[in-house]
Structure 1
Amino acid sequence: MGHLVRAGLRECSRRKAVTMGTSEYARIADHGLIGDLRTTALVATDGTIDWWCVPRFDSPSVFASLVDQRTGGHCRIRPARSDAPGRQLYFPDTAVLITRFSTDEGIGEVVDFMPPSPDPADATPRWLVRMVRCVRGRMDFRLDIAPRFDYGRALHQTVVTDEGALFESADTSVVLHTIREPGDTALRLVGELDLHAEITLETGQVRGIVLEQNPLGPPRALPVAEVERAFQDTVRFWHTWLSRSTYQGRWREAVDRSAITLKLLTHAPSGALVAAPTAGLPEQLGGERNWDYRYTWVRDASFAVSSLLDLGFTDEATAFARWLADRYEEGGIGPSGPLRVLYRVDGSPDVPEQVLDHWEGHRGSAPVRVGNAAGDQLQLDIYGELFDALYRAHQHGLRVGRPGWRALCGLLDWLADNWDRTDEGIWETRGGRRDFTYGRVMSWVAFDRGLRLAAELGLPAPVERWRAARDLVHDQVWQHGWNPERRAFTQQYGGEVLDASLLRMARAGFVAPQEPAWLDTLAAMERDLVVDGQVLRYDPAASPDGLVGSEGTFSLCTFDYVGALARSGRSAEARLLFERALTHANHLGLHAEEIGLTGEQLGNFPQAFTHLALIDAAVTLDRLCGTEPGPGLWVG
C-alpha cells in the first residue's frame, strides 16, 4: 500500500509550502469555471485549481489558494519548462474547460471537467477530471497537489499507492486516481502531505488524474478510454441541456455562456441556486467587503429563474419552486418573515458568519469570511422578486397547485401586515434599518403579481385586502420615495441619495418607461451613478452602509441600466453600452460582481447577478432595438 504519513498542518506548511507574495495571486478574471451541479472548481490560466469545496458549494474548501496562497491548498498541472500562462477556452457550448500550453518542444492541453448528474437521487461519488494530453511534439508536465481541508484548518493524512493516493481528514476524503494505459509505469508521487509527479507525453498521448470526493473504494488506475467516455458524456449532457434554449437573438454566444454559468450554480439534488461559487473575494482590493456568496438567496435565485425562463428553461423554475415550498412548510416566522433572506442549498437556515483569521485574503484583502450574517436581516424586497418569478413561470405554462397557492396566500397575508417596516434593503447594508424605496416597490410587485395570479387562475384569495395594500404602497412610494427637488426617486424615503436598484422600477411595471418622472430619475442617475457607461450601486460616502471603504461599479446595475435605456426609447445608446459592458467579461465570457477603476474584475466570481442581468438586457434589446418611442407608450 505504499507509505502512510500523518503530520501537523503547521509543520508541513513551514517545511514544504512555498510562500508567495500577494502579487503572485492569479487575478480573479484569470479563471474558468467547471462544475457537476453539486459544486464547482475554479481553474486559473496557469493550470492551477485554486478553489474547490466538497461535496457541495457551501462545504469547506479543499483547494483555496485563491484566497490564501500559504495554507489554502491547490492542484496544479503545467509544463515543467515554462512559466508562460496557458490560453483557455471552453469546448463549444459546454462547461468543459481546456487550458493550452505552448513550449519550444510542443503543445499540450489540460482538459478539466466534472461529469454532471441531474438526478437528485444520484449518490455516486463525484469526479473532478484533469486529462493531460500532448497535441504536438513532446511535453513534460508537472503535477503538484496540496490539499488543505476545512479551510486549511484540519489535519489530514496521505496514503500513496501504485494506483494513486488517498487524502483523508476527519470529515472529508479525496482519492486521486491515475489515468494511464495498460503497461504504463505508475505516476511517481513523492511527498508527505503534498504530492508531486512528472508526466512526459508524446504527440497523441493522454494521461492525467481524477479526484473523487468521498470515494467508495481505494485509488485505481483508470484506462484512458474510460475517462474519454466520461468526457463524451459530459459534452453530451451540456449540448442536450443547451439545445432547449429558445434564444435566437444577436448575442447568442454571451447569452449561452451566461445560461451555462447559471446552470453550473444550480444544486441538482435540491433545486437551489447559489449566488456565486466563491467566498472572500474582495469588492475592493485590500478592503473589508469580502463576503461568502455560496448560499441560496431567495432574491438572486428568483432573478435567475426568471432569466432562465426567458430562454425557455422551465425545469429549473419547477425545482426551485418546490425547494421554496419546502422552506415555507418548515413553518415559523423568522427575521424576514415566513421566508429567510438566504439558506444553505439543502434548506438549512444555519449560516453563521465567521472570519478565517489564519488566511491573508486574496492579494492581502482580509478579512476572509465564511457564512453570511445577512441571513438574519429583514429584506422585504424578496417577496416581490419571488412573486414576479412565479408569475413569469405561470406565463410560461407552469401552474400553481392548491397547496402551493395556499402557501403563497400565507406569504402575501404576512406581507400585508408587514410591508410598512424599515429593513436592511437589497444591498444588505449593516448601518441599520431604513425606509428603502426599492423594498416598497417590490412589495407592490408582490401584491400585483399575486392579484394577477388569483384572477388568471380563478383561485380563491383575499383580493380586496391585497388590492388595498398594493394601492397603499403605490401611493406611499410616490409621496415619500419621489424627491421633487432632485427630480428623482431616491434610495430612502425623504432622502437625496440615488440607488441603482431602482433601475428595475420600469421593468417591474411600477412606472411607465416614458413617464417624465422616470426619465428624470434616469437623468439623475446618469449624473450621480454612471461612470463611462458603468453603474455604481450608490454612494457609500453619502449614504453610510456600516462598512469601511468603497467598491467598483456593479455589473448587475450596468446591465439593468441597459435595459432601462432600451425601454425608455434610447435603444441605440443601450446597445452601445451593452456591447461595451460585454468587453469587461474575461477571456471565457465570465463576469464577476464588480469592475474596478482599472477595469479589473472584483468580487465573487462568477456572479449569478451579473449573468442573469446580461441575459435580461440581451432579451430586452432583441425585443426593442430599432424601435422608437411612439404615441401611447405614456399618457400623462
Structure 2
Amino acid sequence: MAEPLSSLSLWPIGNCQVSALIDDAAGLVWGCVPRVDGDPTFCALLGGERQDEGVWRLRLAGQVSATSQYRRNTPMLVTRLEAEDGSAVDVIDFCPRYQHSGRMYRPVAFIRIIRPVAGNPRLEMLLTPMHHYGTEAARTTRGTNHKRFLIGDHQLRLTTDAPIGYIDEGRSFRVEQDLHFFLGPDEPFTGNVAHSIRAMEEATELYWQSWVRGLATPMDWQEAVIRAAITLKLCQHEETGAIVAALTTSIPEAPHSERNWDYRYCWIRDAYYTVQALNRLGALDVLEKYLAYLRNIVDRAAGGHIQPLYSVMGFAELEESVAANLAGYRGMGPVRIGNAAWTQIQHDAYGQIVLPTVQGFFDQRLFRMADERDFESLESVGEVAWKMHDQPDAGLWEFRTRQLVHTYSAVMSWAACDRLGNVAERIGRPERASFWKDRAAKIRARIEAEAWSDEKQHFGAAFGHHHLDASLLQMVELRFIRADDPRFQSTFAAIEMALRRGEHMLRYDSEDDFGQPETAFNICTFWLIEALHMCGRSDEARGLFETMLAHRTASGLLSEDLDFESGELWGNFPQTYSLVGIINCAGLLSRSWDTVR
C-alpha cells in the first residue's frame, strides 16, 4: 500500500483544537495530538520513504483514481475513490465542531465516513499511528467494536461499525453500507455509532456554513477568500486564542536548503496580520479570542518585554531540537521541534501587540471592550517600543547571526506609540495622548533621518544601510507614509528593481545565515500587488493576483514560498501569511457590490 513521496497537495481539516492534512488519495498524512504543536501521531508527511508509518490510508482494490473537494463553505473533505471495475466510495473527513450543551464541542477527534456510491467496492485500510516523532508505533489493544492506541501520555480509541478484525489485520473487505470511524478520546462511545456520527456531520456542516454566512466578503474572488478565511480560523487554537503560523513543521523553504522551521507556534507578527485580515471580513470571534491571548501575554511580560513567538498555551521557552527518526519532507531533513527564534530580539513585536489590541477600545461590537486598566498595561509595552526603536534586532526575517536597526521594526515602534496616543484620546486622557504622540513624532524623525538615503533616493532596510527588503512596502499599510509620497514611490521603484523576479517577489536578495535566497516569499508578492494598485497600476496588480491564485493547491491554499522558475510550492503549509495576502488583495482589487445591484 506504499504511496509516492509527499507533496504539498494537501487538504486541511480541523476544529480549532486538532487538525490534520489529507493527501489527494484520502491519506491522513499529518496530524498532531492533543493539539497542533503536539506529537505528530500521523507523521508520514515527514517520513521520507516510510510512507506506511504514521498514516491513516484508505484504498480500493483496483483503484484507478481519487478526486477531492471540500463541501461548500466548510473544511469537510469529500474524496471519491474509484476502481477499474466502476465501483466507488466517497470518503468524508472532518473534525467535529458545533454548539453542544451550551459550549463548543471540539474534541481531540478525527471522523471518517466511507459511503459506497457505485458497484461492489472492496476497501483496504492502513492505520498506523506513531509516537514520539516517528520513533515507535503506538501500542494497541482491541475490543469488540473498537481499537485502542496508546500514544505517549495520550490514548485514542477508534470506534467503528466496520469489521474491526479486518481493520486490525489489514485485510480488504467489501463496503456494502455506510461505515463510520471515530478516532477520539479513549472513552466508551454511547449510543448508535452511525446515528451519532451522522448527527455530528450535519451539525459540523451547519456550524461552518453559518460562520461563513457572517463574513463580509468582496464581490470578486469570493471562493478564494472564503477558503482562506476558513483555513485561517483552523489555525487558531480556540482554548487560548493563539494563532499558529502554519500547521506543519520543517517543510523546507527550498530543496535541500535546511531552512526547515517549526511553525506550529504563535508568532505575534503573523497573528497580527491574520486577525487584521479576518477583521476586514468581520470575523470578530477570532479577534476576540486572540485579544484574550494577548492580554495574558502582556500580563506575563517581564518589564514589558515581548518575545517574537510563544506556544499556543503561552509558554515562553520553545527549545529547538531535531527529530532524528523522521527523514523529513521528501527526505529533506532536518525535522525540527521547537524554534530558537523565541530567544531572538525582534522589536517589531511591540507594535504588533499594540495594533490589534487598540481595536478593543473602539469597537462597540465586542463583548468585552478594553478599559483604562488595559491601557495602562499596554503602556508598558509602548515603553519598551520607545526604548528599543533605535536598537539592533534580528528583524522580521529572523536573521540568526547578525543584528541591525531594522527600519520595519522602527516603524512598528512608531505605530505602537502613535496608536497609544489615539487610545488615550479615546478614553479621555489628553496628557497621555500628548505624551505618546510626542514620542511617535520623535521616532518618525529618527526614521526619516537614519533610514532615508539622499544618495540612493530610497528608504533602506536598516538604519545607515542601503540594502532593501520587501517589508518597506508596509510603510503605507502602517500609515507611516502615503502611497503618493515621492519617497515611497522611489522606494517602491528600487524594491521592484532589486527584488522582483518576474511575477514574484523575494523578501531580500542578500546572503543570510544559509546563503542566497532561492525562492519567492508569497506574502511579499502580495505586498507587491498591493503596492502596484496603490501606485495606479491596478490592471497589472489584478494580473499578478490571478497568477498567484493559479499557484494555489487544489485545496485552494498556499504555502510560505514558491520557486519563481518552476512555480512549485515550498515551505510550511498552509501558511497564514499567504492566506492573509489572498484576503487583503481580493478586498483591495474587487469590484464593489454596487456594480451588480
User: How well do the aligned residues superpose, as a CA RMSD in angstroms?
Assistant: 2.4
Q: Which residue in the other structure is 1:215 paired with?
A: 186
Q: Which residue in the other structure is 1:6 paired with?
A: none
Q: Which one of 528, 531, 540 corresponds to residue 564 of structure 1?
A: 531
Please give the secondary structure, in 2, of the residue aligned with 1:52.
strand
Q: Which residue in the other structure is 2:46 paired with?
A: 67
Q: Residue 219 of structure 2 contacts residue 592 of structure 2 at CA under 8 Å; is this kept in 1?
A: no
Q: Which residue in the other structure is 1:7 paired with?
A: none
Aligned-pair CA distance for 1:564: 1.6
Q: Which one of 91, 98, 111 corresponds to residue 78 of structure 2?
A: 98
Aligned-pair CA distance for 1:625: 12
2:447 is aligned with 1:477: yes
Distance 1:457 1:571 in 2: 39
2:420 is aligned with 1:450: yes
Q: Which residue in the other structure is 1:229 paired with?
A: 199
Q: Residue 566 of structure 1 contacts residue 625 of structure 1 at CA under 8 Å; is this kept in 2?
A: no
2:562 is aligned with 1:588: no
TM-score of the superposed pair, with normalisation by structure 1: 0.87
Tell me: CA distance 1:393–1:303, structure 2 relative to 1, closer, same or farther (3 Å).
Answer: farther
Amino acid across the alignment from 2:72:
P
Please give the secondary structure, in 1, of the residue aligned with 2:121.
strand
Structure 1 residues 291-306: aligned runs within 5 Å: 291-306=261-276
Q: Which residue in the other structure is 2:174 paired with?
A: 200
Q: Which one of 305, 319, 335 corresponds to residue 368 of structure 1?
A: 335
Tell me: CA distance 1:240–1:153, structure 2 relative to 1, closer, same or farther (3 Å).
Answer: same
Structure 1 residues 338-357: aligned runs within 5 Å: 338-357=305-324
Structure 1 residues 131-146: aligned runs within 5 Å: 131-146=113-128
Aligned-pair CA distance for 1:222: 5.3
Aligned-pair CA distance for 1:187: 4.9
Amino acid across the alignment from 2:317:
D
List per-residue Cα deviations over 1:149-196 (Å, max 9, x = no partner): 12123563211222121111341211111135xxxx5551345xxxx2
Q: Residue 571 of structure 1 contacts residue 624 of structure 1 at CA under 8 Å; is this kept in 2?
A: no
Aligned residues: 587
Please give the secondary structure, in 1, of the residue aligned with 2:91.
strand
Structure 1 residue ranges without an equivalent (≥5): 1-17, 627-636
Q: Which one of 19, 25, 31 corresponds to residue 5 of structure 2?
A: 25
Tell me: CA distance 1:321–1:623, structure 2 relative to 1, closer, same or farther (3 Å).
Answer: farther
Structure 1 residues 306-385: aligned runs within 5 Å: 306-333=276-303, 337-385=304-352
Q: Residue 303 of structure 1 contacts residue 389 of structure 1 at CA under 8 Å; is this kept in 2?
A: no
Please give the secondary structure, in 1, of the residue aligned with 2:45.
coil
2:112 is aligned with 1:130: yes
2:410 is aligned with 1:432: no
Aligned-pair CA distance for 1:111: 0.8
Q: Residue 309 of structure 1 contacts residue 396 of structure 1 at CA under 8 Å; is this kept in 2?
A: no
Distance 1:297 1:588 in 2: 25
Amino acid across the alignment from 1:361:
G
Aligned-pair CA distance for 1:198: 2.3
Q: Which residue in the other structure is 2:25 paired with?
A: 46
Q: Which residue in the other structure is 1:602 paired with?
A: 570
Distance 2:586 2:513 in 1: 35
Q: Which one of 89, 92, 112 corresponds to residue 93 of structure 2?
A: 112
Aligned-pair CA distance for 1:394: 4.8
Distance 1:223 1:473 in 2: 63
Tell me: CA distance 1:260–1:308, structure 2 relative to 1, closer, same or farther (3 Å).
Answer: same
2:57 is aligned with 1:76: yes
Please give the secondary structure, in 2, of the residue aligned with 1:66.
helix
TM-score of the superposed pair, with normalisation by structure 2: 0.93
Structure 2 residue ranges without an equivalent (≥5): none
List per-residue Cα deviations over 1:472-515 (Å, max 9, x = no partner): 22122222212333332222222232101111111111111011
Tell me: CA distance 1:35–1:112, structure 2 relative to 1, closer, same or farther (3 Å).
Answer: same
Distance 2:592 2:493 in 1: 20
Please give the secondary structure, in 2, of the residue aligned with 1:238.
helix
Amino acid across the alignment from 2:179:
R
List per-residue Cα deviations over 1:609-634 (Å, max 9, x = no partner): 111121111112237999xxxxxxxx
**Deviates most, 102-111 or 254-263:** 102-111
**Deviates most, 119-128 or 402-411:** 119-128
Aligned-pair CA distance for 1:550: 3.0
Aligned-pair CA distance for 1:112: 0.4
Q: Residue 409 of structure 1 contacts residue 461 of structure 1 at CA under 8 Å; is this kept in 2?
A: no
2:117 is aligned with 1:147: no
List per-residue Cα deviations over 1:461-482 (Å, max 9, x = no partner): 6334422321222122222212
